[in-house]
A and B are shown apart, each in its own frame.
Chain A
Amino acid sequence: MSGRRLRDWAFWGLCGLAMLGSAAPAVSVLVSVVHQAAPVLDWSLLTRRSNAGGIENAVLGTLWLLLGVLVLAGSIGIGAGVYLAELATGRVARVLRFGSEVLAGMPSIVIGYIGYVTMVVGLHWGYSYLAGVIALSVLVLPYIVKTTEVALRQVPSALREGAVGLGMAHRQVIWRILLPPAAPAVVSGVVVALAISTGELAPLLFTVGFTDSNPSLAPLHQQVPYLTSVTFTDLSLPGARAHATAAAAGAASLAILVLLILLGRALSRRSRLATAQMTL
């Protein structure tokens, strides 16, 4: 075998190893979670609440929280991203971007604690849905802002010029011309934000509490159950059954994650098809 071919093989071999190295943890987590959850894994899990060894209330609570984050962080994050990419100039933009980066680096437990001090105690909201949604939104906002801004900046400037040259108003240029091709990236930013929200425990620990009943629609003064809390609590309980339930809650989080990713792909497919042939 020639030296060149040998180096070629070595290169691809290393690439393969690296791929394996990054995929293996994900696969092993998946397998071990499902394996540990196996003893309790059946559909009744989804119809019993946490006080009866199920996760119905936690699944509903997590989805309910995600919806809140989608609305709050989604709208504010995309709006701020558009503002940074299209309207902010000079110092204002620099200050906002700096703020967003600081926020991105803030430990989630700190966000949870600040949420506790300001909202749960300060505003007398008690452990509540709104406090949790706001804490999670603060946590994931930087991702949405950043991906929206970057996505808009990557739209070829020729499209912007073409639109402006036709006498479109700035608002129309943003909505009709710049956002559609940026949509796949924006959607994936929102999906990442929701995925992070699904797996977070720290911001919720101090803000929403937990309850064995299904989540109420009241935004204030009512505690909300969620999946990561079940995992966290049941793991610290004695007994194989509790541990299996903890694993089942983890598996449910993973399932939500996968669903989110699939949903994001389906949503962004249309605009991706439309922009695939862009050659500008």
Chain B
Amino acid sequence: MPEPPGGPAREPDRVANPAFEIADLAVSYGPRVALRGVHLTVRRHEVTALIGPSGCGKTTFLRCLNRMNDLVPGARVSGRVDFEGEPIYAPTARPIEIRRRVGMVFQRPNPFPKSIYDNVAIAPRLAGLRRGLNELVEESLTRAALWEEVKDKLRESAFSLSGGQQQRLCIARAIAVRPEVLLMDEPASALDPVATYAIEELIGQLKRDYTIVIVTHNMQQAARISDRTAFFTVEGTDTERAGVLVEVGPTAKIFANPSERRKEDSISGRFG
């Protein structure tokens, strides 16, 4: 049975001025419901990890936060997503503006077929920035912990970098737009352990300046890097399966004291 809105998934402790306030969010692709009944508060300057088995809608949820689901034909979003108090699915909301404030890093590194410099500079340049581009590129690459490795070959193709470096370049590219939030969709899943470690380190540093929401299917990773964890799962029978949010709270608490629902999932081998 689906839980009524405001059931166990809703957090009791409300915070003032959250980055995101999500209420009764549901997403469907055509006739298929991907996610329903999600209530969640994303706090500022924290790392919120979204975990759960595949198909539980965690990526779908992430892509609601900067309206990336607009790109998917047939995607329908209902409910309420407030970013800094403004409803981002209101008819008056401007998706392009939202995406500048809520940056995104994808599962596989996807640098543009351009130079390292241009990858970082292109979005600010297109947004109208003319002066201080060099400084911005250096600052963004430094924050992404990549500057030392690429400062002597900024004009080389982004594809000359390793996978892990490419992913950090994508983080630098996102930072260069000066967002307030970074959304990360399993940013280390295509990388080797060393590169993964570098990315995790980086996330730890970035949370001082940014609110971070990260999807991961790796529980240990969630435990290592996040302040809060939101646990999604799939609910319903085969014909009417949909992702739901089961549990959310401080990461330490979630992992020390898993709820009944999640234990069930873990024991039945669906996750973890």
Contacts and interface: CB of A to CB of B under 8 A. Distances in A.
A275 B113 contact: yes
A134 B177 CA distance: 45
B100 interface: yes
Contacts of B112: 159, 162-163, 177
A166 B103 contact: yes
B108 A280 contact: yes
Interface string B90-105: 0000001111110110
B114 interface: yes
A166 B71 contact: no
Interface centre among B106, B110, B160 (most CB of A within 10 A): B110
Contact of A158 (B108, B122, B157): B108
Interface in B27-71: 66, 68, 71
B194 interface: no
Interface residues of B, number: 30
B154 to A, nearest CB: 15
Nearest to B66: A165
Interface in B144-178: 157, 159-160, 170, 173-174, 177
Interface stretch (A68-76, A167-175, A187-195, A196-204): A167-175
B3 to A, nearest CB: 32
A166 B173 contact: yes
A170 to B, nearest CB: 9
A160 interface: yes
Contacts of B96: 167-169
Given A165-B68, A277-B157, A158 B174 contact: no
A165 B185 CA distance: 12
Contact of A162 (B73, B98, B100, B110): B110
Interface string A259-280: 0000000000000001101111
B110 A167 contact: no
A48 interface: no
Contact of A161 (B98, B100, B106, B122): B106
A162 to B, nearest CB: 4
B71 A278 contact: no
A160 to B, nearest CB: 7
Given A167-B127, A168-B123, A176-B126, A89 B71 contact: no
A164 interface: yes
Interface centre among A167, A177, A279 (most CB of B within 10 A): A167
A88 to B, nearest CB: 12
A181 B113 contact: yes
A176 B122 contact: yes
Nearest to A155: B113
B99 A162 contact: no
A53 interface: no
Contacts of A275: 113
A169 B101 CA distance: 14
A57 to B, nearest CB: 45
6 contacts: A165-B66, A166-B174, A166-B177, A167-B96, A167-B100, A278-B159
Interface of B: 66, 68, 71, 73, 96-101, 103-104, 106, 108, 110-114, 122-123, 126-127, 157, 159-160, 170, 173-174, 177
- A-B pairs, top 4 by smallest CB distance, nearest first, are A167-B100, A277-B159, A165-B104, A158-B110
